[in-house]
């Protein structure tokens, strides 16, 4: 199987992880066994990292607060920012950590049940870290789109049911 | 009161009306009967139209359409198919291919002139010919030949009154793409008998595993061809009503007369949107095409499993399977499937009598809905097969 076909399998699974190997095989004109093998290969190679579900927790009625925290860090010889980043990303409430260009060095996305909880995390865990010089916290007020998913009412199919 | 127009009266009412009325009332009905993309127009195109309206693009344009749009279409056709049309006097922007068809027929036909087309065919062809005073002459194609046009049958249908051949590849309703060789032969026949060719290539960008052949690019074709193209299908722009017609200047001159006195021009905001589509739409076209292709493979495999045989169509977004295994006629199949399983399809006979024994399924519907529809169709067919 070639790179193009691997990519097609990945794209299909990225859109819907529950697409079966049988369906994928039909969609791409491949054998079911080939697809199973390819998926296995992609999993072992760590290209498919895991399968997860996109959930609208708001709709479920669960309060979750998110915050973007920009962090200024003084880099260290040998490791740069990596060691500080690692200290931060090991906290389970940390969703994402990026090294970014601009005024700050790290951008951290943190979740919590309340704003207070996040404020405490920043004050007690993040800010006191060695070499962290400053933090700048922004709470998320509303989520419109995330990971390509739009969190609004889905638009209805406006087409007539039958047209020539 | 005096009788109404005989010409219009002679055209039978739409064959899908009665199914449409039922399906439209039905909750939880999955429709595979829709002849337009399930995608909405790509955002960059919509955004460009909003911008155009904000900037005050709210006027008439030249009867021919915006010159800049014609230039882009001209460049696009040259790049893709190697056909050259002057944006000055060899093309015109129409209100969809629908208008293109109408004015092409009116520009070509005198009362009694015959227009040959292959069946099953798009439903508008016979009426368009009749409204222009012509006589539609359908030539059947065969399921077992994948609905490929048969040149011998075409030759047999030619009479001294034949004026034009109307082609549609990729085809609605069968999804057939005519082979390059067959199209060449058809052009040769047209040259031999001095016939015009009207080529409806609205699905040109939706082909799978094959290349689209632009009829105008074939040897001898250009001088006698009216090429019709559009934005509805490739760019998911059905509601914008933009298409184009390309032909030698003397034909366009005739068409523009009808167009200028009946339409004046196509809506300017939609023309601006079409410019954006041509300029930056390539990635989106390919994204949609790839999605259709995956659905196509899935639906063809499943239909054959279910017993509704079909050869894989190579274009558009339709499959046209045989329903022979159920022993039902097209309309009975459609009606019973709708009432029993709440799945809407289009009975094949509305596309001409050679469509009897088939139904048209559109895969311009999301995969999960296609899956569910196929599941219901399977249950339906299993009961019929016993
Ligand atoms: C073969 C064919 N020609 C023309 C049309 C009409 O297209 P437009 O939206 O450009 O008027 C359609 C639409 O279904 C079609 O299938």
The answer on pLDDT for A151 being more than 90 is: no
Nearest CB to A27; choose among B38, B123, B294: B294
CB contact under 8 A, B36 and A159: yes
Whether A153 is in a domain gets the answer no
CA B261/CA B238 separation, integer angstroms: 24
CATH code for the domain of A12:
1.10.10
* Percent of chain A as helix, strand, coil, to the nearest 5: 35, 25, 40
Please tell me which of the candidates A23, A157, A163 has its beta carbon nearest to residue B298. Answer: A23
Q: Tell me, yes or no, whether A76 and A107 share the same domain.
A: yes
| Residue A139 near residue A115 (C-beta atoms within 8 A) | yes
Same domain, A10 and A71: no
A36 lies in the same domain as A65: no
Same domain flag for A33 and A97: no
Residue B372 to residues A32, A53, B196, Cα–Cα distance (Å): 21, 21, 45
Distance from CA of B78 to the nearest CA of A (A): 29
CA count, 13 A, side-chain hemisphere, B89 = 6
**Atom in ligand 1 nearest the alpha carbon of residue B232:** 9
Straight-line distance from the first to the last Cα atom of chain B, in angstroms, rounded to the nearest whole number: 55
Chain position carrying tokens 């990519």: A7
Cβ–ligand 1 distance for B167 under 6 Å, the answer: no
Q: Do residues A39 and A72 share a domain? A: no
Is the domain of A69 the same as that of A138? Answer: yes
**Minimal-distance CA residue to ligand 1 atom 7:** B97
| Residues B212 and B201 sit within 8 Å (Cβ to Cβ) | yes
Structure token digits, residue B361: 């399924």
The structure tokens listed for A133 are 């010089």
Please indicate, yes or no, whether residues A34 and A85 belong to a single structural domain of this protein: no
Tens digit of each residue's pLDDT (9 = 90 or more) over B295-324 = 999 999 999 999 999 999 999 999 999 999
In 3-state terms, what secondary structure has residue B116?
Answer: strand
Domain shared by A86 and A121, yes or no: yes
Q: Is residue A95 part of a domain?
A: yes
Residue A72 in domain? yes
Which segments of chain B have a pLDDT < 70? 386
Are residues A99 and A65 located together in one domain of the fold?
yes
Q: Is residue A93 part of a domain?
A: yes
B236: left (phi over 0), alpha (psi -120 to 50) or beta: left
Q: Which of residues 170-199 of B touch A (CB under 8 A)?
A: 172
The four Cα atoms B347, B350, B356, B357 give a dihedral, to 10 degrees, of -10
With beta carbons under 8 A apart, name residues in chain A contacting B344: 161-162
Judge whether A119 lies within some domain: yes
Most ligand 1 atoms within 8 A of CB, residue of B14, B93, B123, B172 to mutate:
B172
Terminal CA-CA length for chain A = 39
Tell me the average pLDDT across A90-99: 96
pLDDT at B386: 65
Is A156 part of any domain? no
Average pLDDT, chain A: 94
CATH number, domain containing residue A104: 3.30.70.920
Q: Find out whether the peptide bond into B327 is cis, omega within 30 degrees of 0.
A: no
* CA pseudo-torsion sign A39, A43, A48, A50: positive
| Domain, as residue range, for A26 | 3-44
Nearest to B346 among A28, A159, A162 (CB): A162
> Which atom of ligand 1 lies nearest, measured to the CA of B242?
10
Contact indicator for A11, B291 with CB cutoff of 8 Å: no
pTM of the model: 0.93
Q: How far apart are CA A131 and CA A129, in angstroms?
A: 6
CB distance B124 to B101 below 8 Å:
yes
- Nearest Cα to Cα of residue B170 among B380, B378, B312: B312
Q: What are B222-258's pLDDT values in tens digits?
A: 999 999 999 999 999 999 999 999 999 999 999 999 9
Please name which of B365, B360, B364, B362 lies closest in space to residue B121, comparing C-alpha atoms: B360
| Residue A163 maps to a domain | no
* Contact criterion met (CB below 8 Å) for B155 and B188: no
> How many structural domains does chain A have?
2
* A53 within domain boundaries: no
How do residues A36-55 score in pLDDT, each as one tens digit? Answer: 999 999 999 999 999 999 99
Could you give the domains of chain B? 6-41+283-385 (3.90.1150.10), 43-281 (3.40.640.10)
pLDDT of residue B96: 98
Same structural domain, A15 and A70: no
**Res. A58 pLDDT band, cuts 50 70 90:** confident
In the numeric block, which tokens belong to residue A42?
A: 């992609």
User: Are both A100 and A138 inside the same structural domain?
Assistant: yes
């Amino acid at each position: 199987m070639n790179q193009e076909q691997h990519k097609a399998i990945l794209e299909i699974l990225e859109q819907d992880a529950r697409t079966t190997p049988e369906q994928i095989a039909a969609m791409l004109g491949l054998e079911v066994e080939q697809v199973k093998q390819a998926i296995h290969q992609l999993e072992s190679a760590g290209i498919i990292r895991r399968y997860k579900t996109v959930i609208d927790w708001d709709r479920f009625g669960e309060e979750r607060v998110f915050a973007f925290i920009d962090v200024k860090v003084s880099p260290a010889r040998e490791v740069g920012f990596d060691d500080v980043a690692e200290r931060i990303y090991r906290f389970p409430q940390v969703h994402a950590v990026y090294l970014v260009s601009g005024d700050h060095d790290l951008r951290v996305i943190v979740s919590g049940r309340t704003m207070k909880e996040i404020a405490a995390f920043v004050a007690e865990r993040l800010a006191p870290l060695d070499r962290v010089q400053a933090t700048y916290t922004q709470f998320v007020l509303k989520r419109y789109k995330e990971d390509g998913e739009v969190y609004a009412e889905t638009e209805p199919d406006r087409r007539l049911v039958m047209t020539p | 009161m005096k009788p109404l127009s005989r010409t219009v009266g002679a055209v039978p009412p739409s064959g899908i009306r009665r199914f449409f009325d039922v399906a439209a009332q039905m909750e939880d009905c999955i429709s595979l009967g829709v002849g337009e993309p399930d995608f909405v127009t790509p955002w960059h195109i919509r955004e460009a139209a909003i911008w155009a309206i904000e900037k005050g693009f709210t006027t008439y344009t030249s009867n021919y359409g915006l010159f800049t749009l014609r230039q882009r279409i001209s460049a696009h056709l040259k790049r893709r198919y190697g056909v050259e049309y002057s944006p000055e006097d060899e093309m015109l922007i129409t209100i969809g291919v629908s208008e293109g068809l109408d004015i092409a027929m009116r520009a070509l036909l005198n009362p009694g002139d015959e227009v040959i087309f292959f069946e099953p065919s798009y439903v508008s062809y016979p009426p368009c010919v009749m409204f222009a005073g012509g006589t539609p002459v359908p030539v059947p194609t065969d399921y077992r030949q994948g609905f490929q046009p048969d040149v011998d049958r075409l030759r047999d249908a030619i009479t001294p009154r034949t004026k034009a051949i109307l082609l549609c590849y990729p085809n609605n309703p069968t999804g057939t793409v005519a082979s390059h060789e067959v199209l060449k032969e058809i052009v040769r026949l047209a040259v031999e008998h001095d016939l015009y060719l009207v080529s409806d290539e609205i699905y040109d960008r939706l082909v799978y595993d094959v290349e689209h052949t632009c009829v105008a690019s074939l040897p001898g074709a250009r001088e006698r061809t009216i090429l019709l193209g559009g934005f509805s299908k490739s760019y998911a722009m059905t509601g914008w009503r933009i298409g184009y017609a390309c032909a030698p200047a003397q034909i366009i001159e005739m068409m523009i007369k009808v167009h200028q006195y009946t339409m004046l021009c196509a809506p300017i905001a939609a023309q601006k949107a079409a410019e954006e589509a041509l300029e930056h739409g390539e990635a989106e076209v390919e994204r949609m095409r790839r999605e259709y292709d995956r659905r196509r493979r899935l639906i063809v495999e499943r239909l054959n499993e279910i017993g509704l045989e079909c050869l894989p169509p190579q274009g558009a977004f339709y499959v046209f399977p045989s329903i022979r295994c159920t022993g039902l006629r097209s309309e009975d199949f459609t009606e019973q499937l709708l009432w029993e399983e709440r799945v809407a399809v289009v009975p094949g006979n509305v596309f001409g009598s050679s469509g009897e024994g088939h139904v048209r399924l559109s895969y311009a519907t999301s995969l999960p809905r296609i899956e569910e529809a196929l599941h219901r169709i399977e249950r339906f067919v299993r009961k019929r097969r016993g």
